[in-house]
């Protein structure tokens, strides 16, 4: 509850090499939005009050900390513990001049650090390298940007006489493709002060639960709005064809049933659709099997979706993607634990709200209570 006593303070580092911004620059910030997602690129947008100097130029436009290409690290201090929301790169600036004094605005927009991995198409071969070695090789190129790799080992070692792994896309697309081939996920999350964790490994939901969301509980409610929906058309069975090594005959490949770690629903939703994926043909049988299984698991994990808005100070915590969170007060079918999929932070003076999206694979709580 230190957030209620000490309030929420904004942390912004920026520049070609991120350094703390001046108090004048912080005072010029009118509003700020940060969006983080478990499966998509995140980003940020900062709106600042712009004023002209004596020479007729807007000071913010010539500030190197707000130049296109500069890094921006955004966090909040709730009590005494910093929470990091975004580490990104400015990609766009927009000036809205006004005849009225104090009404000119500069809007700075950027994407998270994964955008740096998506700038250059690379053509490269990796003879005899398993996918985990390829991932480490790619991530090593970004050590200067504070990228700390966390790569899980893959055991499929390609024999050069049979297959030579090739990269013909950007580093980000390559890492996501390799992760998909192994039933893994790849994402980058900020660690603070210009360092970031690049995770390449199994998609697990093991984490300490966040503060639970309470709805329809009178004075104990901490959610402004909450909507829960179940989409039974999302689960699917994935089928494909793959060629065993040295064989001209394709064999059918089906995704295997999988149990998410940890399971979050007492009654998982059974698949209603059957989908043929032609992309599996380009993979070996083991890799096609892993990819098909991962596709099925990804589709099944988003059957139940909860979305809403909350006031951060009243809630007393910061939500992060891929963390577990409990819901209380929505009835047995929709109570229980979920995985956070997307969070949008909206920060202004005297106001800090979070819009969230949560997912799980079915209905019914597995636990009698949430913590």
User: What CATH code is carried by the domain that includes residue 26?
Assistant: 2.40.10
In terms of domains, do 133 and 87 share one?
Answer: no
Residues 6+ away with beta carbon under 8 Å from 288: 240, 242, 253, 280, 281
In terms of domains, do 194 and 315 share one?
Answer: no
In terms of domains, do 261 and 314 share one?
Answer: yes
Tokens read off for 272? 């209603």
pTM of the model: 0.91
Among the residues of 14-123, which ranges form H helices? 23-28
**Cis amide bond preceding 138, omega within 30:** no
Residues 6+ away with beta carbon under 8 Å from 357: 305, 306, 307, 340, 341, 342, 343
Residue 39 has what pLDDT?
A: 86
In terms of domains, do 99 and 136 share one?
Answer: no
Residues 6+ away with beta carbon under 8 Å from 328: 212, 213, 214, 215, 217, 335, 370
User: What CATH code is carried by the domain that includes residue 159?
Assistant: 3.55.50
CB atoms within 10 A of CB 30: 15
For residue 330, give the H/E element and its range: none
C-alpha distances in Å from residue 81, one per residue of 1, 11, 204? 12, 12, 25
In terms of domains, do 229 and 337 share one?
Answer: yes
Residue 1 has what pLDDT?
A: 42
In terms of domains, do 301 and 167 share one?
Answer: no
- Partners of residue 195 on adjacent β-strands: 192
d(CA 76, CA 30) in angstroms, rounded, equals: 15
Start-to-end C-alpha separation, the chain: 16
Q: What angle do CA 248, 249, 254 make, to 5 degrees?
A: 135
Residue 2 has what pLDDT?
A: 43
In terms of domains, do 191 and 100 share one?
Answer: no
d(CA 237, CA 355) in angstroms, rounded, equals: 32
Q: Which long-range contacts (CB under 8 A, 24 or more apart) does 98-107 make?
A: 102/49, 102/51, 104/49, 104/50, 104/51, 104/52, 104/58, 105/30, 105/47, 105/48, 105/49, 105/50, 106/47, 106/48, 106/50, 106/58, 106/60, 106/61, 106/66, 107/45, 107/46, 107/47, 107/48
Enclosing domain of residue 16: 2-112
Q: Choose one of 86, 112, 138: the last residue of a domain.
A: 112
> How many domains does the chain fold into?
3
Q: Choose one of 151, 171, 202: the last residue of a domain.
A: 202
Residue 97 has what pLDDT?
A: 92
Residue 6 has what pLDDT?
A: 57
In terms of domains, do 132 and 66 share one?
Answer: no
Residue 336 has what pLDDT?
A: 95
Tokens 């000071």 locate to 59
Q: What angle do CA 71, 317, 268 make, to 5 degrees?
A: 100
d(CA 294, CA 292) in angstroms, rounded, equals: 5
pLDDT under 70: residue ranges of the chain? 1-6, 54
3-state SS class at 366: coil
In terms of domains, do 232 and 193 share one?
Answer: no
b/e per residue 129-152 (b: at least 16 CB within 10 A): bbbbbbbeebbeebeebbbebebe
Residue 248 has what pLDDT?
A: 83
DSSP 8-state class, residue 24: H
Q: What is the pLDDT of residues 283-295, one digit of tens each?
A: 888 888 988 998 8
In terms of domains, do 296 and 282 share one?
Answer: yes
| Cβ proximity of 226 and 215 under 8 Å | yes
In terms of domains, do 306 and 348 share one?
Answer: yes
Residue 201 has what pLDDT?
A: 94
d(CA 235, CA 258) in angstroms, rounded, equals: 12
Residue 102 has what pLDDT?
A: 83
Residue 269 φ then ψ, to 5°: -85, 130
| Cβ proximity of 266 and 365 under 8 Å | yes
d(CA 355, CA 155) in angstroms, rounded, equals: 40
Residue 188 has what pLDDT?
A: 95
In terms of domains, do 35 and 96 share one?
Answer: yes
Tokens read off for 208? 């300490």
Q: Choose one of 151, 176, 202: the last residue of a domain.
A: 202
């Amino acid at each position: 509850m230190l957030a209620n006593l000490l309030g929420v303070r904004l942390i912004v580092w920026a520049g070609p090499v991120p350094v703390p911004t001046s108090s004048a620059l912080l005072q010029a910030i009118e509003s700020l939005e940060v969006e983080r997602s478990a499966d998509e690129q995140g980003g940020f947008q900062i709106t600042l009050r712009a004023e002209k100097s004596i020479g007729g130029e807007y000071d913010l436009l010539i500030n190197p900390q707000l130049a296109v290409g500069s890094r921006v690290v955004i966090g909040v201090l709730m009590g005494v513990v910093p929470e990091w929301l975004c580490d990104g790169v400015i990609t766009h600036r927009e000036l809205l001049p006004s005849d009225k004094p104090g009404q000119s605005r500069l809007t700075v927009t950027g994407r998270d650090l994964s955008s740096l991995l998506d700038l250059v198409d690379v053509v490269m071969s990796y003879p005899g390298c398993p996918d985990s070695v390829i991932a480490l090789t790619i991530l090593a190129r970004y050590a200067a940007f504070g990228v700390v790799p966390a790569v899980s080992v893959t055991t499929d070692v390609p024999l050069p006489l049979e297959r030579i792994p090739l990269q013909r896309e950007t580093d980000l697309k390559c890492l996501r493709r390799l992760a998909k081939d192994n039933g893994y996920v790849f994402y980058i999350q900020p660690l603070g002060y210009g360092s970031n964790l690049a995770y390449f490994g199994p998609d697990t939901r093991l984490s300490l639960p966040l503060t639970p969301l309470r709805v329809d509980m009178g004075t104990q409610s901490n959610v402004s709005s909450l909507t829960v929906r179940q989409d039974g058309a999302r689960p699917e069975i994935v089928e494909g064809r793959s060629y065993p090594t040295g064989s001209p005959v394709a064999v059918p490949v089906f995704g295997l049933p999988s149990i998410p770690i940890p399971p979050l629903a007492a009654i998982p939703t059974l698949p209603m659709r059957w989908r043929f994926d032609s992309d599996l043909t380009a993979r070996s049988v083991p890799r096609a099997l892993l990819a098909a299984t991962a596709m099925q698991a990804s589709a099944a994990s988003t059957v139940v979706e909860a979305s809403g808005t909350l006031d951060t100070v009243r809630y007393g915590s910061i939500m992060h993607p891929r963390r577990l969170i409990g819901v209380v007060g929505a009835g047995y079918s929709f109570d229980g634990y979920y995985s956070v999929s997307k969070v949008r932070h909206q920060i202004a003076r005297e106001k800090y709200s979070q819009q969230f999206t949560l997912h799980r694979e079915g209905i019914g709580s597995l636990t009698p209570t949430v913590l």
